[in-house]
Structure 1
Amino acid sequence: MPSALDPDLLAQLPPALRAAVEAQVQALALENAELRTRNARLEHLVRELQRARFGPRSEKLHPDQMELAFEDIEVALAAATEENDAAAESRTGDRPARTPRGPRRLPKDLPREERVLVPEDLICPCGCGDMVRIGEDRSERLDVTPAQFRLIVTIRPRYACPKGRAGIRQAPPAPALIEGGLATEALLAHVAVAKFADHLPLYRQSQIMARQGVEIDRSTLADWMGKVSFHIAPIVDRMAVLLKRSARLFADETTMPVLDPGAGKTKKGFIWAMLRDDRPWGGSDPPGVVFTYAPGRAGIHAEEMLKGFEGVLQVDGYQGYNRLADGRRAEGGRVRLAFCWAHARRKLIEARPSAGSPFVDEALRRIAEFYAIEKEIRGQAPEARHAVRQERSKPLLEAMHPWLVQQAARLSKKSDLGMAAAYVLDHWPGLILFA
């Protein structure tokens, strides 16, 4: 019991009251300990958010720091403010030296429209006549033509025998994705790309069209996208079949807000992706990715998406993929899960206290050795890479595992460092699969 309580005073209390006081003190002590633990955890999270927000964006041992989307906006805003201030100073005569910029990278085949600005008066002041052209200055500005709507009027003349001896001839209607519909294939593609690639909701597209006087209701746009999805589904299905014939795939999932009409808000869905990209190691199969929407994140959705695939699947540490490798899979053989060292590094970096950690520093140093080897052999033939990994990477992994086990035994399992070490050890079979 805490020393703050006077034992003599407690002894004077009735037994029942003394027991109640002691129980209350013990409960408060336990609650206080839990609050201290929670406070330490919150302080750690604040440090991580500050590091992600204000820390370096790239460094050799810290390439996995979070990059917040609004950082780019803030940088652009700061640059625009600086340029505006510089322009104001130039008007007052105090213009600082401007940092030279690198060349703009624009497509060489970009259409160019030349506009020549000629002085209104070319008569030479000396009275000799008109001035002659001796050179020119050129400058380029990027321009855009906003989307313009137009109506394609298709005319099919009817022809008949002038003497009335034969029937009428007329060209058949042009094939259309939506028979008798208003939208051309170009407009359908425009709406689809804006929605699925640029994440522009249909109601916003409807508003944009209305600004140009084209009133297309959101329900009509949704109907168009339904028909587009129907026609493109066989292509997507075929892509999925070809991808699942691969020896290795990547898979990942992330949240996606989904409009919930009538509710006045969005609901959370999940977009699942399976990807093939053999270009880094000189593979001959073309890259490809297929996205699948699911209302949740349960592993059954991963199983459904990867039905028929047998091979190596590289994923993060999400446990939902485990059902593909532990025998719970309804169809197909087991999948070998390969885990990502970048996620393991991130766990270690996030667990490192502000005062530093020799354990984390040494772990990152060892992992950096794997990365250095991979950098050397990137682009080489699979056989060559495998030979190098067997010769150089495998011994490093074999030496790292017992060291990691030893270090983990010294750490509290409930501490951030202990949980980071446990994460690496729990995923060890999949982490060393590359070697």
Structure 2
Amino acid sequence: MQENKENPNELLELLLEKCDHLYQENMLLRGKLEDRTDVDALKSSYEKTISEKDTKIVDLEKQVAYLRRRIWGKSSERYIQEDPQQRRIDFDGFDLLPGEIELVEAARAEIETFRERRVKERVKRKPVRKPLSEDFPRIEEHLYPDEINDNMDAWTELEPEVTEVLEYEPGKCYVRKIVRHKYVLKSKPSRESEEKSSLIVTASLPTRYQPIARSYAGASLLAELMINKYVNHLPFYRQIQMMKQLGANLPPPTVNDWFKDTADLLRPLYYRLKELVLATDYIQVDETTVPVINNEKHKTVNGYMWMVRSVMDSQLFFHYDHGSRAQNVALSLLNDFRGAMQTDGYAVYKMYEQKKGVLPLGCWAHARRKFTESLKNDKSRAEYALEQIGLLYEVEREADDKNLSYEDRAKLRESLAYPIMVAFEKWLVREYEKVLPKSPIGKAIKYTYDIYHRLTRYHLDGRYRIDNNLAENSLRGLALGRKNYLFCGNHDAAEDAAVMYSLLGCCKAADVNFRDWMVYVLSRIHDYDEDYTRDLAELLPGNYSRRNP
């Protein structure tokens, strides 16, 4: 009975719990309904914004169309103006009246006839060289054919052939007028004599007057242009302006062609110079950069010019091989050389340690430069190294002051310089372990020790130099030139420049007047064209100075 009394309470609790659950569900559903109302409101707001945006876009499009009409279209509109007084400007009229159209067509037809005539004239017309200005002073030279010397009375003179060549003297230009006399036989020769002689004879034109065939540039003018560029470092365009002030109007393309032709004219002499330099037993080799235009990249790139100097006879040449500094260039260039070869520490030259007949020498100036650059990094070690190298140079100064022979110089080096080099090598080995390898002093010590066997060989022969400075001095002219004319137009131009630098560099080494030598060579180079018994080496600056002291 006790249990039955408790059942009504439990039932009541269950009913209350169920009502509470239903109430909570009702409230949850009502909240969701309110949320749904907010979503609809938000959707309506978005749709309104989109509609306004579309309207704005349409307005903007109308404005753009209006502006386009204002800029590119006609200024008046095609629809009727609201103001009646504006109707007078509604009609734009035709762009051209019928009569104006006829005039335009007639003018166009006449212009076409001009164009056709000009094209025809351009096709038919041949380039004609403008005569040299009459303002130039003229020096006449008369040439007579050899055939008339035996019997002058048998010939009748005709109108002579005249050739004018532009020459240069310091401060002025003048024209060399070469008159080649022409003659014809007075009586018709017999058949036998007709085969031996011609009816008309003309004096031949010696090649000394025209180094470049069919050109009006004389040897002196060509010499002036080449020397000004490769000795005085004046670009051609500046020289053209200078010549214009003297009354000579030289077209730039013509001057560039003269440069190419002059280089081609001197190239056999350049090849002969290379043979002579590489035939010696002691050379110095160095290389430097020259800017060259790369047409594919449309910019300048650094090409390398190699320089080889014969120390004993002061002859040198420059070599350009597509601007490469690679090992294969050195192999082909120095393939036949046998003897002592002095270079810097460039890794390519290391291979010659293994080549039979070649004795590689080092350059103490390069080693000294490395220690000078490391003074701020390690002053004590750098100063010690520079002091030891300075002692080696003091030995050379003593030999120079006493004007020692090569044999005595070698003995002095062996007794004084060699002990210093032995001690210095041990210092290099000992100190390298105490410094950072990547530091300036570490790099200086490593550079010197890696080529130390090459650096110390100069004591073997009194002819050998302690450094490569003579070769570096020969490169200064090229360094000054690239700062002025900035670059070479292409690889061919760089090769032509190597020819000029080589021969003019030999002039400087032999203390020869550049202009006198160049005029002399350009006037006589053709004498060697067919006479193979003569040696082109006769024209080199060293031989020229001995003939013309």
What range is the shorter-chain TM-score in?
0.5 to 0.7
- How far off is 1:334 after superposition? 5.5
For 1:292, give the aligned amino acid.
H
Answer yes or no: is the 8 Å Cα contact 2:343–2:361 preserved in 1. yes
How far apart in 2 are the matches of 1:207 and 1:262?
Answer: 31
Corresponding position: 1:303 with 2:331? yes
Corresponding position: 1:173 with 2:205? yes
Deviations 1:79-101 (A, max 9, x none): xxxxxxxxxxxxxxxxxxxxxxx
Answer yes or no: is the 8 Å Cα contact 1:324–1:334 preserved in 2. no
Corresponding residue of 1:407 = 431
Answer yes or no: is the 8 Å Cα contact 1:325–1:334 preserved in 2. no
Corresponding residue of 2:366 = 343
- How far off is 1:377 after superposition? 1.5
Name the SS of the counterpart of 1:342 in structure 2: helix
- How far off is 1:159 after superposition? 3.4
Point out the more displaced range, 183-192 or 344-353: 183-192
- What is the 5 A alignment of 1:157-236? 157-160=181-184, 167-175=199-207, 176-236=210-270
- What is the 5 A alignment of 1:392-403? 392-403=416-427
TM-score, structure 2 normalization: 0.47
How far apart in 1 are the matches of 2:295 and 2:234?
Answer: 16
- How far off is 1:194 after superposition? 2.1
Corresponding residue of 1:246 = 280
How far apart in 2 are the matches of 1:267 and 1:214?
Answer: 34
Corresponding residue of 2:443 = 419
How far apart in 1 are the matches of 2:374 and 2:439?
Answer: 9
- How far off is 1:169 after superposition? 4.1
- How far off is 1:146 after superposition? 5.5
Structure having the larger proportion of residues in helix: 2
Relative to 1, partners in 2 of residues 1:196 and 1:264: Cα closer, same or farther, differing over 3 Å?
farther
How far apart in 1 are the matches of 2:374 and 2:358?
Answer: 30
Relative to 1, partners in 2 of residues 1:311 and 1:427: Cα closer, same or farther, differing over 3 Å?
same
Relative to 1, partners in 2 of residues 1:196 and 1:300: Cα closer, same or farther, differing over 3 Å?
farther
Relative to 1, partners in 2 of residues 1:262 and 1:203: Cα closer, same or farther, differing over 3 Å?
farther
2:342 aligns with one of 307, 311, 314 = 314
For 2:267, give the aligned amino acid.
A
Query: Which structure is richer in relative contact order (CA contacts within 8 A, separation 6 or more)?
Result: 2
1:362 aligns with one of 367, 384, 391 = 384
Deviations 1:273-326 (A, max 9, x none): 111223xxxxxxx21111112312223222332231111111111223223334
Q: Which runs of 5+ in 1 are unaligned?
A: 1-144, 279-285, 328-332
Corresponding residue of 2:393 = 371
Deviations 1:114-167 (A, max 9, x none): xxxxxxxxxxxxxxxxxxxxxxxxxxxxxxx86422222111122345677794
- How far off is 1:349 after superposition? 1.0
Name the SS of the counterpart of 1:149 in structure 2: strand
Relative to 1, partners in 2 of residues 1:263 and 1:363: Cα closer, same or farther, differing over 3 Å?
closer
How far apart in 2 are the matches of 1:313 and 1:419?
Answer: 24
Answer yes or no: is the 8 Å Cα contact 2:181–2:202 preserved in 1. yes
For 1:338, give the aligned amino acid.
L
Corresponding residue of 1:76 = none
Name the SS of the counterpart of 1:433 in structure 2: helix
Corresponding residue of 1:109 = none
Answer yes or no: is the 8 Å Cα contact 1:338–1:430 preserved in 2. yes
Point out the more displaced range, 145-154 or 177-186: 145-154
Answer yes or no: is the 8 Å Cα contact 2:282–2:311 preserved in 1. no
- How far off is 1:410 after superposition? 1.1
Corresponding residue of 2:85 = none
How far apart in 1 are the matches of 2:367 and 2:279?
Answer: 29
Q: CA RMSD for the aligned pairs?
A: 2.6
Name the SS of the counterpart of 2:370 in structure 1: helix
Answer yes or no: is the 8 Å Cα contact 1:273–1:289 preserved in 2. yes
Name the SS of the counterpart of 1:181 in structure 2: coil
Relative to 1, partners in 2 of residues 1:243 and 1:312: Cα closer, same or farther, differing over 3 Å?
same
- How far off is 1:185 after superposition? 1.4
For 1:347, give the aligned amino acid.
K
Corresponding residue of 1:151 = 175
Point out the more displaced range, 317-326 or 230-239: 317-326
Name the SS of the counterpart of 1:317 in structure 2: coil
Deviations 1:192-226 (A, max 9, x none): 22233333333333343344443333322222222
User: How many pairs align?
Assistant: 278
Deviations 1:37-79 (A, max 9, x none): xxxxxxxxxxxxxxxxxxxxxxxxxxxxxxxxxxxxxxxxxxx
Answer yes or no: is the 8 Å Cα contact 1:348–1:420 preserved in 2. yes
- What is the 5 A alignment of 1:253-292? 253-259=287-293, 266-278=300-312, 286-292=313-319
How far apart in 2 are the matches of 1:321 and 1:163?
Answer: 75
Corresponding residue of 2:47 = none
Answer yes or no: is the 8 Å Cα contact 1:249–1:275 preserved in 2. yes
> Which of the two has higher C-alpha Rg?
2
For 2:318, give the aligned amino acid.
F
For 2:440, give the aligned amino acid.
D
For 1:270, give the aligned amino acid.
Y
Name the SS of the counterpart of 2:172 in structure 1: coil
Name the SS of the counterpart of 2:183 in structure 1: strand
For 1:182, give the aligned amino acid.
Y
Deviations 1:4-55 (A, max 9, x none): xxxxxxxxxxxxxxxxxxxxxxxxxxxxxxxxxxxxxxxxxxxxxxxxxxxx
Answer yes or no: is the 8 Å Cα contact 1:351–1:420 preserved in 2. yes
How far apart in 2 are the matches of 1:212 and 1:262?
Answer: 39
Corresponding residue of 1:124 = none
Deviations 1:223-279 (A, max 9, x none): 22222222211211111111112111111111112356798754322221111223x
